Structure 1
Amino acid sequence: MPTGNAPVLAGARILVTARRRGDDLGAALEDRGATVVHAPTLASVDESARRLRARTRDAIGRPPDVVVVVTATAVDRWSAAVGPAGLGPGVLDLLTGARVMARGPKARAALERLGVRPDWLGEAETTAGIADLLLADGVDAARVLVLHGGRRDADLEEALRAGGAEVEALQPYRWVPLDDRPPVRSAARDTAAGRFDAVLFTSAPGAQAWLRAVRREGRLDEVRARVEERQLLLAAVGAVTAEPLSFAGLLARTPATSRLADLVRLVLEELGDDRHALLTGHGLLRLRAGTVTLDHRPVPLSPGGLALLRRLASTPGHVVSREELLRVLPGASRDPHAAEVAVARLREALRGALRSDQDGGQDGGQDGGQDGGRNGVADDDGGLVRTVVRRGYVLAAR
């Protein structure tokens, strides 16, 4: 039996849609055995430093009563852009003299790095709570400065203006969707075709761009079916990020806290969970997007062998006829002998993997052909795929 010390994500193929920190996320998954494909769905474009500094000088000259900070990245990039122009002290005075509202813990941490403690923290990481609170307190004639992230929140600005506020906005950077780019469209097709075990998202705009690519390729129904059949994991760093997926009818899993480390842990738990594996006499069998593993050790299989094993594993312990196996094999053969040859090759691949793990252990017998074993079942080498005489084949699972 395999020793069980292989990486938990061995054999898994995961799509990472993030650009910012996508490398960190991918490295963490690769360290645990996954194959990671990067297809960023957004590009980040910085605002012109000259324009941002000019608008910052205007804000310093007419200090706001309230500052709403949407993202940590906005704070960091704003500070980096205005600092070389000598505007740092003015920005600090602007912030310390205003009522500062931070959308979430990351925005708060970025402010605290500047020496500013926010007056209010939105735990849900949405701007809706900020708008509700400010409108309840009253913003008539108040000057409100909104420091936006990559996506400008027009609804927040509109709500505050409707309440009588004078709203100014700064946007140090903006997201540009890449859903029409070949790598993203190719990844969308591959997702629908079952070539990924999981797709990961770190922002709502990124999730929206990925959905547009899927829709552009006409593959949303296929992706939804794979999610519903638990053949594909969609994982988002938080509830806000998952919203576009939910609106499209796609179930996305989220960790308890919006941290990349917790997102990685969620993927480990979902893809490595023993409940989703088949217990065999040689270990836990897992079906991955491009291979199978026994106790997390990949088993090299041809496309035909993988197709056969997927069909057998869909009804473990139940007989599958040669005709049914023919239907899932690549090609259009109607010859039952083709199924027998493919099963023999599958068995040989499984035997090779088992011999490697057992350090040259003994083969378990012959195919059996027309020789009936007990109850008409003939054990094959390794005992994973067994012949049921004159009926077909069965995947032996406990």
Structure 2
Amino acid sequence: MNDSTPLLGFTVGITASRRAEEFATLLTRRGASVVHAPAIRIIPLADDTELERVTREIVADPPKIVVATTGIGFRGWVEAADGWGLAEKLGEALSQARLLARGPKAKGAIRAADLKEEWSPAGESSAEVLDHLLAEGVEGVRIAVQLHGATTEWEPVADFCEVLRCAGADVIPVPVYRWVPPDDQSAMDKLIELAATRGLDAITFTSAPAVASMLDRARETGMLDPLIHALRQRVVVTCVGPVTAAPFVELEVPTTMPSRFRLGALARHLADELPRRASRIRAAGHDLGIRGGCVVVDGEVKQLAPASMSLLRALGARPGRVVSREQLLAVLPGGGDDTHAVETAVARLRSSLGAAKVVQTVVKRGYRLAVDPVDCGDEE
């Protein structure tokens, strides 16, 4: 492992549907293994009858305020309106409104449509936009809010609209780039299983709809509780920004994010964050880094069989301390009650590591990683 490949040995899940290949390249260049499972499928805007209905409503009765939350959504809305022969009328309606842009991409899309935003928050968050509106008062004000996708319980913009309604606003949700789950969810099912079974070191999200879609799928397949447990305990959840992270905040799942809400910044943030959080064990003169799907021994990635990986995780959870044969048997795939299976699995683990002395036999007690006692404290 070196400074150019800080993610060597780490396995990162990508849920993005757009620019996923570009993001994967940024991670693999830094040494990561990538598992891609697109969480959402975008419905072409020109085919979205609900968006056309809302657009005609806005043309007929323009709102006083329009909140643009994403650049791609606002641009797509204008393009779809052009396809319906409504572009000029929509432009006239929007020009009469006060336009608020959540971030620079939304601002750029507004200007590309020959319109001008009135205000945009410094922190690029929906919460700042909401505070701004509530501070000036919205009682009786007609407000159009561009949504991120389908409205679900995990969708933060849905809460945004509800707060405005409670404050007395007449809210028009604008469902640009409506999303639905992928037709084939097998890749997402695999990603959820990997996260729940320690096969991932990190999972990344670039939109709130992707978070909502994954959580919905986990619940449908009975995997929501183990998934949430894994995300709270060991899988690093990395989001592009606070809007994307909002559903996890509600679930008390810790998240991390870059200071700038961009793909490049997200990749650099992961390259800094994962090595910092990873445990490093010095055993029998070797440096070990136990990852989600492999182990790094003296800077070299070693791919282990599931049984060997399970044993190493159990030993690594208590570095230098004895783990009994019975405890190790319990973590072996298939289990059973023959402790001789542990001896066979340990032999294979030693062979796979290429460093036999890393795993030490403690006669009549079990096994341990051969960690210097100074590093691990008194043995229990």
Shorter-chain-normalised TM-score: which range? Answer: 0.7 to 0.9
Match of 2:310 in 1: 307
Judged with a 3 Å threshold, the aligned counterparts in structure 2 of structure 1 residues 68 and 324 are, in CA distance, closer, same or farther, namely: closer
Select which of 21, 24, 33 maps to 1:23. 21
Match of 2:265 in 1: 262
Match of 2:226 in 1: 222
* Amino acid in structure 2 at the alignment position of 1:12: F
Select which of 294, 309, 326 maps to 1:291. 294
Distance 1:102 1:227 in 2: 32
Match of 1:107 in 2: 106
* Amino acid in structure 2 at the alignment position of 1:171: P
Match of 1:67 in 2: 66
Match of 1:47 in 2: 45
1:36 pairs with 2:52? no
Distance 2:131 2:358 in 1: 60
**Could you say what the CA RMSD is over the residues aligned between the two structures, in angstroms?**
3.5
Judged with a 3 Å threshold, the aligned counterparts in structure 2 of structure 1 residues 296 and 219 are, in CA distance, closer, same or farther, namely: farther
1:237 pairs with 2:240? yes
The DSSP-based 3-state class of the residue aligned with 1:383 is helix
Which of 304-313 and 330-339 deviates more? 330-339
Higher Rg of the two aligned structures = 1
The DSSP-based 3-state class of the residue aligned with 1:305 is helix
Which of 96-105 and 71-80 deviates more? 96-105
Q: Is the 8 A contact 2:45 2:77 kept in 1?
A: no
Matches within 5 A, 1:105-184: 105-127=104-126, 129-134=128-133, 136-138=135-137, 144-151=143-150, 153=157, 168=172, 170-178=174-182, 181-184=185-188
Query: What's the CA shift for 1:292?
Result: 0.9
Taking structure 2 as the reference length, the TM-score comes to 0.80
Which of 311-320 and 334-343 deviates more? 334-343
Distance 1:289 1:276 in 2: 12
Match of 1:341 in 2: 344
Distance 2:78 2:117 in 1: 16
Judged with a 3 Å threshold, the aligned counterparts in structure 2 of structure 1 residues 300 and 49 are, in CA distance, closer, same or farther, namely: closer
The DSSP-based 3-state class of the residue aligned with 1:393 is strand
1:252 pairs with 2:255? yes
Which of 186-195 and 202-211 deviates more? 186-195
* Amino acid in structure 1 at the alignment position of 2:248: L
Query: What's the CA shift for 1:174?
Result: 0.9
* Amino acid in structure 2 at the alignment position of 1:258: F
Judged with a 3 Å threshold, the aligned counterparts in structure 2 of structure 1 residues 141 and 248 are, in CA distance, closer, same or farther, namely: closer
* Amino acid in structure 1 at the alignment position of 2:317: S
Deviations 1:319-342 (A, max 9, x none): 233343333333445444443333
Question: What percent of counterpart residues are identical?
Answer: 37
Structure 2 segments unaligned to the other structure (5+ residues): 152-156, 373-380
Query: What's the CA shift for 1:245?
Result: 1.9
Deviations 1:98-140 (A, max 9, x none): 3211122331232234454421113454545445544543556
Distance 2:278 2:194 in 1: 26
The DSSP-based 3-state class of the residue aligned with 1:173 is coil
The aligned length equals 366
Distance 1:126 1:240 in 2: 7
Structure 1 segments unaligned to the other structure (5+ residues): 352-380
The DSSP-based 3-state class of the residue aligned with 2:178 is strand
Taking structure 1 as the reference length, the TM-score comes to 0.77
Q: Is the 8 A contact 1:188 1:217 kept in 2?
A: no
Distance 1:330 1:131 in 2: 50
Deviations 1:229-248 (A, max 9, x none): 42x22222222222222322
